[in-house]
Structure 1
Amino acid sequence: MTGGPIDIHAYLAEFDDIPGTRVFTAKRARQGYHLNQFAMSLMKAENRERWKADERAYLNEWKLTDAQKQAVLDRDYNRLLDLGGNIYFLSKVFSTDGQSFLQAVSTMSGMSLEDYQAMMIAGGRSPEGLRSLKDRK
Structure 2
Amino acid sequence: MIHHKDIHEYLADFEDIPGTRVYTAARARKGYHLNQFAMSLMKPENRERWKADERAYLDEWPMSEEQKQAVLDRDYNRLLDLGGNIYFMAKVFSTDGLSFVQAVSTMTGMSVEDYQAMMNAGGRSPEGQRSIKGAY
Partner SS state of residue 62, structure 2: coil
Which protein has the bigger helix share?
Answer: 1
Unaligned 5+ segments in structure 1 are: none
Compute the RMSD of aligned alpha carbons.
1.3
The Cα shift of 1:69 comes to 0.3
CA distance in 1, matches of 2:79, 2:126: 25
Following TM superposition, the consecutive aligned residue runs of length 4 or more in structure 1 with deviations greater than 6 angstroms are: none
Q: Deviations over 1:96-124 (max 9, x none)?
A: 00000000000000111111000001111
Which residue matches 2:43?
44
Which residue matches 2:2?
3
Partner SS state of residue 135, structure 1: coil
CA distance in 2, matches of 1:59, 1:103: 23
Partner SS state of residue 133, structure 1: coil
Q: Deviations over 1:28-47 (max 9, x none)?
A: 00000000000000000000
Partner SS state of residue 61, structure 2: coil
The Cα shift of 1:6 comes to 3.4
Unaligned 5+ segments in structure 2 are: none
The Cα shift of 1:3 comes to 2.5
Total equivalences in the alignment? 135
Question: Normalization by structure 2: what TM-score?
Answer: 0.96
Which residue matches 1:135?
134
